[in-house]
Chain A
Amino acid sequence: MTTKQFGAPVQRTEDVRLLKGNGRYLDDLGQDALAAAFVRSPHAHARIVDIDVTDALEVEGLVAIYTHEDLPGRVGEPLPLLIPHPAIVAGRTGYALAKDRVNHVGEPIVMVVASDRYVAEDVCGRITVTYEVLPPVVGVETARDAKHLVHEDVAGNVAGHLVQEVGDAPAAVDSAPHTLELDLKVERSACIPMEGRGVYARWDADDESLRIYTSTQTTTGVRAAVATKLDLPLNRVECIAPDVGGGFGVKIMHPWPEEVLVPWAARLLDREIKWTEDRREHFVSSAHERGQVQKVRVGFDDEGRVLGLDVKIWHDNGAYVPYGLIVPIITSTQLLGPYKPGAYKVEFWSLYTNTVIVTPYRGAGRPQGVYAMERTMDAIADYLGKDRVAVREANFIQPDEMPYDHHMIFQDGRPLIYDSGDFPGSMDKLKALVGWQDFEDYREQARAEGRRVGIGVACYVEGTGVGPYEGGHVVVESTGKVVVSTGLTSQGQGHETVFAQIVADELGVPLEDIKVTTGDTRKMGYSVGTFASRAAVMSGNAIGIAARNVRTKALRIAGEALEVDPGDLEIVDGIVRVKGSPTSSMPLGTVAVLSNPLRYAFDTASQAATQFVVGDPDKPPVAEDDEPGLEDRDFYSPAQSTYANGMHAVIVETDPETAEIKILRYCVVHDCGNIINPMIVEGQIHGGVAQGVGGALYERMEYDENGQLLNASFMDFLMPYVTEVPDRIEIDHLETPSPLNPLGIKGAGEAGVIPSAAVFASAIEDAEGFTITSMPISPSELYALRQRFAAGEIPALRGRSATASTATTPTPVTEATTR
């Protein structure tokens, strides 16, 4: 037997090419293309009074300047609202180029096309836009107050409003033995991929067709959106994602204004045009996420079991909602995590602000939901003076309750039913991994050394592999090489490797003989895209099904040629052979030749396949229900998402003087079902944890009250360096296979980042002895909290003795009643 690839820690096949510098990213293409650049709004909220280009016209190398007035037909209409949802109260989207008004700093107003980017920027610098500045709405509280409106006709700045309710949660809270109320806050952050957005388009006037290269997470989506905007038949538009240097969600949003404008202008001018986003543009004109204000009311019993959970969420969606309400919907449903509250009510308001739009960023609303739930678990434990893990355990859904129906609707419009997971089992593993039981000893020892340490824990469940479908196309060429394609895109996840592993096992071919292509509409026109940890589940299963069909066909054809029952055949190292009698065999490539009856021979191999040589002369060369070629295209479309889960623990040390926060240990227990490649799953976790550290301790979007983003550069937006991420992330896996798909897998791409804000808040609170309600947290903020704590302005935790010697008398976490 060929060694099984599924489950093996295979090294990433794409890395040789990428590490040698042979990657081809968007800006590596179209070296002779004209360059586009944009004049973007310097104001958060303004009316455009006048655009004066006179001064710019004399710049040498200028090709064209476009404003909204120049945009014909659909190009000039608002951009699509991609995901309509009944909860959208007032859906507003921007224009490709602003018409009359701008609603955030960075919104594109004028497009310039020139001989190169230097010239294009010179031109931009000479265009004068006159504004009438309007009062900006910045931050959830301001939006909620609605003294000023982002969109004149949208009352209360409310874009969307949704209530989901299981049981009578407010009543359950009120009648519970204990109740607590928490006010929580999470700041904005963003995906910040290494490569920004970018699009390069060329029009083929002879063929009347358009080719678009774009740094996207969905080529089929961009293709359809641009074809619609430009009024072109779909089959006249090709869209290709070259190598993409990271996406993390921001590139699933589409079509970006630039994705419409660059192809439009390329066709109009009949010239190749490219736009490569720069870092400042990425900060002010792509998308952000995370910003929410939350209010939790919880009622619980003496064991800490949640009897009623009543949550209100105010979600900052930025200036427009082109991606609908996906983020707050995910927050409100995935907030439940591994727990089963007696009754649950969640209500959210999605609010407009004069800031960059909010669309999914790795984790997509889950980090905020997990934060609300886990802060609540910690508050209950503290209130009851119980162990934080014990309270969680008291609320876990048990393995024998799977599948567990929450009786709610998930982001895919399907019921929220967990398919698998063993939460108590995962927690046992985490406790063992981090040494939960021994931590108090460690704390004492550290205290004796004058050090302040804390431990935190947080759990999450993640709906992954959302539909509707993905496809896989598998072809065995006459050389025996296998070409695989799927429509969704890759941004560094290692798809080429894991998809090849799946095919290698089905077809018995070595990995190096398999070539995987993703995100090219020329090769696979039907696809959704890469998001929601769905690639392995969706395309993995589709490719697996297609590969199995190819195998069946190969065995049938080889069986006929070798005159044996297909059931007696196996494929090993690319050779189809009779089990137990390896001399009776033929290479898979020969089977491929035989699968395609030919009239013309062009080499010795193909001579074997001419219609004069193969087949039964009494039957058609290609049977009625068959097709020529050793290939198959098939699709996978699940009825619902599959739910992965995990639990993280972190030990931090906070400097008693400087308030610096140091990570001592970071532990992860992770369950993504059957693991295709543990090395890649761990890599995904490492990357996710690194982003999570950023989101919890370093990053935020520092908007001032005028809507200016003060830290729109890598100097002031503090992505963690490798020096800020723990050297070692300790990982243990639990594999509870999903019963929902043939491979038994669940998504793994986002997991690492989801519980970060929650787990760090938990640990810092534990170290400091007072509650943390707002994340991220910086040393400066921690210092300010210490000052307030010392002044008695914020209460101490009551369950655990405060570490700080200045601890004041314990008071309840928040207003609480005991009956």
Chain B
Amino acid sequence: MKPAPFTYHAPTTLAEALDALDRVGEDGKVLAGGQSLIPMLNMRLASPAHLVDINGVAGLGTVDVDATGVRIGALARHAQVAGHDAAHSVVPLLRQALQLVAHPVIRNRGTTVGSLAHADPSGEMTAVLSLLGGSMDLARKGAARTVPAAEFFVGPLESCLEPGEMAVSAWFPVPPPRTGTTFREVARRHGDYAMCGVAAAVTLDADQRVLSARTSYISMTATPLVLDLTEAVAGKPFDAADWAAAGQLSADQLDPEPDIHATADYRRHLGVVLTRQALTDAATVAAAQPQGATR
């Protein structure tokens, strides 16, 4: 359990980092919090010839909040984001989800952008970015682009990041007014990757009737799946809506794979149950908001 030899790069500016990545191209990997990459290196599941360690790069550890959303820099740690009160007040789903990511020690090192770049379909933040319709800011030497969540995730552990490119930040927009969100999951042990997890967002109208009910899932699909389940509950008062029907509606669209911890059947069952629970909770949160409030 020792990594294969690699060349180590320790840039201190973004320009240096992009320069290094450009030079090493296919053979390079960004090292952020290392919580996913280091185990893969140790087990020799990955053996890049070059590691570009961005931990020394100035200016990447930012969490910027305004009325439209939260922009999270590449070096902001999970713990930092989860503890950010201003971010929480505009996009509560961040903290709701981050509490379920791993354990405190891992959240102290692991980065939120790193977990998105890692594109593990079991990672909570992939569902959050997808549900909120956020985007990733990517950069390479001499160029930058912004990619919406729906295009960013390409496959399990696969994003549209190209050789020489890195993720500089992630953008999480504020949901529409009178929206409530929640994250529910079932994991084998506290802090494990979930067997199934559901992020839910319910938006109500001024009369507390359901305008929209949407969910996204982890550990259920190869890339984050966002479902619009509004048709099961549209126009219903939030507390009289048939959330179970919304859960049932999700069933046909969930086609999970089995693994050693859960059969496909059980996973789908969890999907249906958690969809109902998450939507019910999200609706309650939405209804409890002062009229006209955002979240």
Contacts and interface: CB of A to CB of B under 8 A. Distances in A.
Given A780-B263, A784-B263, A125 B189 contact: no
Residue among B5, B188, B261 with max Cβ neighbours from chain A (10 Å): B188
A278 interface: yes
Nearest to B273: A657
Given A716-B260, A783-B266, A778 B189 contact: no
B59 to A, nearest CB: 33
A96 B195 CA distance: 41
Contacts of B191: 721, 723
Interface residues of A, number: 30
15 contacts: A117-B2, A121-B1, A121-B44, A122-B4, A122-B5, A125-B44, A279-B1, A280-B1, A658-B273, A715-B39, A778-B262, A779-B186, A779-B195, A780-B262, A783-B263
B243 to A, nearest CB: 13
A724 B260 contact: no
Given A280-B43, A783-B265, 20 more contacts: A121-B1, A121-B4, A278-B1, A279-B1, A658-B186, A659-B266, A702-B260, A713-B43, A716-B261, A721-B189, A723-B189, A778-B261, A779-B186, A779-B195, A779-B266, A780-B266, A783-B263, A783-B269, A784-B263, A784-B266
Interface in B250-273: 260-263, 265-266, 269-270, 273
Contacts of A778: 188, 261-262
Nearest to A716: B260
Contacts of B261: 716, 718, 778, 780
A776 to B, nearest CB: 12
B188 A658 contact: no
Contact of A658 (B4, B192, B270): B270
Interface residues of B, number: 25
A660 interface: yes
Contacts of A711: 260
Q: Which 5 A-B pairs have the closest CB atoms?
A: A723-B190, A278-B1, A780-B266, A780-B262, A118-B2
A720 B189 contact: yes
Given A117-B2, A658-B270, A784-B266, A721 B260 contact: no
A539 to B, nearest CB: 35
Nearest to A700: B260
Contacts of B3: 118
Interface string A190-229: 0000000000000000000000000000000000000000
Contacts, number: 66
Interface string A543-578: 000000000000000000000000000000000000
A698 B189 CA distance: 8
Given A780-B262, A780-B266, A121 B189 contact: no
A238 B274 CA distance: 60
A661 B191 CA distance: 16
Contacts of A121: 1-2, 4, 44
B233 to A, nearest CB: 20
Interface in A712-744: 713, 715-716, 718, 720-721, 723-724
Nearest to A714: B39
Interface string B1-20: 11111000000000000000
A114 B19 CA distance: 36
Interface string B180-195: 0000001011111001
B190 A721 contact: yes
A772 B158 CA distance: 41
Contacts of A3: none
Nearest to A656: B273
Interface in B17-39: 39
Nearest to A279: B1
B17 to A, nearest CB: 26
A155 interface: no
Interface in A275-297: 278-280
A622 interface: no
B115 to A, nearest CB: 15
A787 interface: yes
A217 to B, nearest CB: 24
Nearest to B269: A783
A232 interface: no
B262 to A, nearest CB: 4
Contacts of A657: 273
Contacts of B190: 721, 723-724
A787 B266 CA distance: 10
Interface string B39-61: 10001100000000000000000
Contacts of B265: 783-784, 787
A710 interface: yes
A718 B4 CA distance: 28
A711 B188 CA distance: 14
A720 B191 CA distance: 11
A61 to B, nearest CB: 11
B7 to A, nearest CB: 14
Contacts of B2: 117-118, 121
A373 B284 CA distance: 50
A660 B262 CA distance: 12
Contacts of A702: 260
Interface string B205-219: 000000000000000
